[in-house]
Amino acid sequence: MRYLFGPGPSNVPPRILAAGSKPIIGHMHPEMYEIMNDIKRGIQYAFQTENNMTIAMSGSGHAAMECAVFNTVEPGESVLVAINGIWGERVAEIAERMGANVHRMVKTPGGYFTNNEITQAIEKHKPVLFFLTHGESSAGLCHPIDGIGDICRKHNCLFLVDTVASLGAAPIFMDKQNIDILYTGSQKALNAPPGTAPISFNDRACHKMFNRKTKPVSYLFDMTHLSNYWGCDGQPARIYHHTGPVSGFFGLREGLAILVEKGLEESWKKHKEVASYLYRGLEDLGLKLFVPERDLRLPSVTTIAIPNGYDWRELLMYIMKHHQMEMTGGLGPSIGKVMRIGLMGYNCEKTNADMALHALADALKNCKKSKA
């Protein structure tokens, strides 16, 4: 047993573990299709969308990221990527690998983009797709979304948003905010095991991806096939494409059911409350929060500036060894800048914040501190 208080995966509650341990059925049995239909409805609720083209990828958040880019962009087309942490870097690389003409808007981790800056960049590069991370887990930032969908619409550009670390923890309204493609992962606030990734496409995105001149580079992630596998293409029969992760889908369905029972508002409120409680405790320990603007902090993953004089690796190793607790360092451009505590979904409790604070206080007391 480990306390998974990093940016994910988070601990899986017994109810979801039990769902995942049910006997396997065939990936094309009628009962499996019912389960997939439930998952689709759960995702529609979690994303606040009525999009028919709503499915779960067989794979982690990266699968959804690649699926979004591979299906909506053709080689040579312009893509604009907002980079303020690792996830934008990843999307830029993925888009470059499939031959897109990639333009990067870059801020240091913790930074964010104004709607004005986004408008200017879109006018300059005329992208077919603009990517933004809502929950930048490497920086601990929750990016404002309002108004950006309208800007994209006005400029005939699709708006792709990554909510892997923020879904269920911070408000997002796919339809109201005019987000064309939205994805998340199973292993964060949804508390299911890693390995499945909800994604949804609206009509604008479907129009672009189903009227291509070239086939997407990936067969596995081709939405023509996946939309049939998920019963979203209006065809009477589903044709074999690939064998989905049956147990993973059982777990995802249960994770979504728990979120539906709890309610999004309640879940958002709880994450905010526990995060505020954690901020106070961290400040009482003399630590500095990495994102200064309180309203821009990601409620599910809190980033702490590395305290002066400490080796962050040593602190994290001490916490793992003496408290069986995972906290992590930075990721990509935030490596060496932050330590991260994630309290998501099932783990999002003040008692867990207390345990994390206690472990951190113990590490600060017992790890070497240089004079510098």
How many Å apart are CA 326 and CA 342, to the nearest integer? 9
CB of 79 to ligand GLV, least distance (A): 22
Residue at shortest CB range from ligand GLV: 137
Question: What is the number of residues in the chain?
Answer: 372
CA 201 to chain centre: 16
Task: Give me the residues paired with residue 304 across strands.
Answer: 289, 339
Q: How far is the CB of 69 from ligand GLV (least distance, A)?
A: 18
Terminal Cα-to-Cα distance of the chain (whole angstroms):
37
Task: Identify which of residues 317 and 335 has a Cβ nearer to ligand GLV in the complex.
Answer: 335
- Interaction between residue 281 and ligand GLV (CB under 6 A): no
Could you give the 3-state DSSP secondary structure of residue 36?
A: helix
Minimum Å gap between C-beta 219 and ligand GLV is: 26
Question: Could you give the C-alpha distances from 362 to 125, 211, 322, 337, in angstroms and in order?
Answer: 51, 58, 9, 21
- The site for ligand GLV, by CB under 6 A, has a size of 6
Among 3, 4, 7, 27, binds ligand GLV (CB under 6 A): 7
Q: Does 329 bind ligand GLV (CB under 6 A)?
A: no
Of 162 and 180, CB closest to ligand GLV: 162
Q: Helices 246-262 and 264-284: crossing angle, nearest 10°?
A: 90
Q: Which of 52, 58, 137, 267 binds ligand GLV (CB under 6 A)?
A: 137
The reply to whether 184 sits near ligand GLV by the rule CB under 6 A is no
Three-state secondary structure string covering 297-308: ECCCEEEEECCC
* Of residues 165 and 192, the one with the C-beta less far from ligand GLV: 165
Omega of the bond leading into 7 within 30 degrees of 0 (cis): no
Q: How far is the CB of 257 from ligand GLV (least distance, A)?
A: 23
Q: Is 334 in the site for ligand GLV (CB under 6 A)?
A: no
For residues 266-302, one letter each, b for 16 or more C-beta atoms within 10 angstroms of the residue's C-beta and e for the rest, the string is ebbebbbebbebbbebbeeeebebbbeeeebbbbbbb
- Binders of ligand GLV among residues 8 to 47 (CB under 6 A) are 8
The yes or no reply on residue 110 touching ligand GLV (CB under 6 A) is: no
Q: Based on the shown chain and the rule CB under 6 A, indicate whether residue 138 belongs to the binding site for ligand GLV.
A: yes
CB 156 within 8 A of CB 204: no
Q: Which of residues 140-169 bind ligand GLV (CB under 6 A)?
A: 165
Nearer to ligand GLV, 103 or 337 (CB): 337
In the list 331, 338, 357, 359, the residue contacting ligand GLV (rule: CB under 6 A) is 331
Q: Is 340 annotated as a binding residue?
A: yes
Which residue in 210, 247, 173, 215 sits closest to 25, CA to CA? 247
- In the complex, the residues that contact ligand GLV under the rule CB under 6 A are 7-8, 137-138, 165, 331
- Binding-site positions: 340
- Binding-site positions for substrate: 340
